[in-house]
Amino acid sequence: METFLRFFINTCPTNSSSYLALAKFWYNATPHFATGLSPFEALYGHPPRHFGISVLDDVEVSELSSWLYDRQAITDLIRQHLARSKDCMKKTS
């Protein structure tokens, strides 16, 4: 978790705090290599539901549309950093 957060915060230091909840969600929704289950699924017995609004949806409010694109970009970064931190952990163990 520390490695993942370090990668994430170093990538976007100015606005990373506003996306910490999203980073936490994706961390808890990503399957662990040993169990094949995400932490959320291991705890609650079912996979987490995603937010429901996507970048592909037609949105009339320009601020919401901009926020959705930003959220998608941050989500992609989070996925990359999760993969990167997993690779680091595999190499060190």
> pLDDT per residue over 26-46, tens digit each?
788 888 877 888 888 888 888
DSSP character at residue 50: -
DSSP character at residue 47: P
Q: Provide CB contacts within 8 A for 10, sequence distance 6+.
A: none
Structural tokens at position 57: 């949806």
71-83 confidence digits (pLDDT tens): 788 888 888 888 8
Nearest alpha-carbon partner for 84 in 27, 37, 12: 27
Return phi, psi of residue 37, to 5°. Answer: -115, 150
